[in-house]
Amino acid sequence: MAAAITLVEPAQNEFLAQLESRSGKPNHFFRTMAHRPEVLKNFVPLYGAIMGPGSVARRLKELVYLAASFTNQCAYCSASHRASGKKAGIAEEEMAALMAGQDERFLGEEAAVIRYSRELTRHAAASREGLEAWFNQEQIVELTLVAAMANFTNRFNNGLGLQPE
């Protein structure tokens, strides 16, 4: 078994210290990424641009992120996005259904984004046909960015064995 990656302490990285002082708690994802400080500095605004306000509703973004994270069995992202998904209005029963792959519970645009996220996660390519009935091109690009970000963070966390705090 590979040795665990050590976490960078905030005292070693000013940007990391600022991030954690804003949240008020340690963040293993950031502390691990801080091994490459320039990547961490650029990751945070990119993540914010993708997951922040845009042309797609927050609830839909969280459904995309959770569908990818549950598909990849990423404990870290699943825990993090269960909390943000709850804030976005996803009920506990809906999260349980999504985690169990019971996607038939979701209808319309929600079913379309979940299907797209899972297909993109499993195959690194996906048909956009189901999305085109619900979303314009800008929104489809935004949804694809969310799924891509989820897969990036899932692979980072799973590859390095990161677990929720």
- Structural domains in the chain, CATH included, are 12-51 (no CATH), 58-160 (1.20.1290.10)
Residue 165: pLDDT over 90:
no
Does this model's pTM top 0.85?
yes
Q: What is the pLDDT of residues 27-75, one digit of tens each?
A: 999 999 999 999 999 999 999 999 999 999 999 999 999 999 999 999 9
Q: Using the 8-state DSSP alphabet, how is residue 8 labeled?
A: P
Average pLDDT over residues 78-98: 97
Tokens of 26: 């340690």
Q: Exposure string (b/e) for 99-129, b if CB count within 10 Å is 16 or more?
A: beeebeebeebbbbbbbbbbbbbeeeebeee
Please report, to the nearest 10 degrees, the dihedral formed by the alpha carbons of residues 73, 74, 76, 79 taken in order. -40
